[in-house]
Structure 1
Amino acid sequence: MTFTYQRSYRGPLKAAVLDWAGTVMDHGCRAPAAVFQAVFEARGITVSEAQAREPMGRPKWDHIYAVGTNPDVNALWKAKFGKDFEATDADEVYKDFVPHQISIIADYCDMIPGTVDAVHALRAMGMKIGSCTGYTPDIMEACRKAAKTAGYVPDAIFCAGDTPKGRPGPALLLANMIELDVYPPQAVVKIGDTVADVEEGLNAGAWTIAVAARGNEVGLSREAFEAMEATQRQALIDTASEKLSKAGAHYVVDSIADVPAVVEEINARLSYGGHP
């Protein structure tokens, strides 16, 4: 036989799995970046904001290990402590990180403009709303409360530690699919603001939408972002968009407010056999 045939999903998207910090709240994903810098500074190691942000989206222990083993940071560590940064060092830094993050997280629970309206629009299209985060459940407690007050209550929430591995692996997204009883992966879209979010979605076989302007890659508070001169702001957005696009995102938008229109486009592609 010359040809073989493959089953093709032709239905609409059934679920969106949203990241938290930098995607639906904490404009610029500022809370974790500040704490990563602080816990290294407490040990006499200066970490730049760019170095602190580079692994954003991963579980926080993994993030700390990635920062510590960054060649430049590791060189500082070795000069001060006489050895390379190791997993046991990440353990100690992580012990400081968690209580510090919990102590300040309530100050960074501002909802990103358009979140609640976008989620309502997705629900109106018949979609379930899942979510996942690199935060631990205890860090997430304040985030959940603030989101509920603002009108955002996802159908599922999975945190770092809820699965054996976190991002960039697919486990957290797949856990959402199981909890929401949604399949196949082509019927799911992952929405986030980091390279790790994009990789998570791709590794799960889902669609990916990256948000560039109001998340980690630009890294500004809402006030600073909106006060910036337009051409300077656009230059930052363009740089962020290029990075997320090169990571493999199927779509890159400015913010979550732009997501419903993209979902409509994905649904059109699915209807004629398109796939991630």
Structure 2
Amino acid sequence: MLTISQLAGYAGVTVAAVRHYHKIGLLPEPERDRSGYRSYNAAAVARLIRIRVLASAGVPLAQVEDLLDADPEDFAEEVRELDARLRAEVRRLQDTRKRLARLAAGEHLALPQSVVGYLDRLRELGVEERYIERERDAWIVVAAQFPDEIDAVIANKHEDLDDPDRVRFYSLVSGALDWSADDPRVVELADILDRILTRWFESQDLDDDWFDDQMIALLDATMAESAPAAKRLLTLLEERGWKGWTRVERMPADR
């Protein structure tokens, strides 16, 4: 006959584990002998080893007793059901890991891969991270409003970057957050945008139906407040016949 310490040693568990299994009813608690000690037999060792093996395999303790007492057919069925639950849990954990990886990647949190790729291309052009962060936030709004169209929009944006005026625009605007309103480069930006918008207008590719008026006002206000030179840029564009930023309109020549 074995003491509780010997039992635990043979089964490869701690004495505290044995006492816990007694408490929850997994391991029957023997009567004390005349000296006041509990003694255990080989059957207790075998049962305790089976408990340890099942628990180590991931079986919840609440299910261990059913498996211990099941016949071979029922045991196999219980194991199959447990395996199915574990596989579902593995899939859930894998999905969680993917979401965590996206969180670690930052931009992937709220943006589709197409937009992330476009922002990476801007980085390759040397655009400063501060400006990219602002453009990223704008694309988060666009992607949320038009999830089915965003990939096509970004494909067009990639084509736009084949235009030297677009590349020059980004090389300038990258540092524009620190420009004063009277910086001469603001005029160059206005000239570049005037050429770009003129080509858009002539190709009849201006699309002003993307957002409702409230969203237009929000995005325009965000742009106007983004840098000291932003409002002057909008004024210069109006002088060249263009009104608005998110929804651009061509003003009458005789305004």
Larger RCO, structure (CA 8 Å, separation 6 or more): 1
Structure having the larger proportion of residues in strand? 1
State the TM-score, normalized to the length of structure 1. Answer: 0.23
State the TM-score, normalized to the length of structure 2. Answer: 0.24
Determine which structure has more spread, i.e. the larger CA radius of gyration: 2
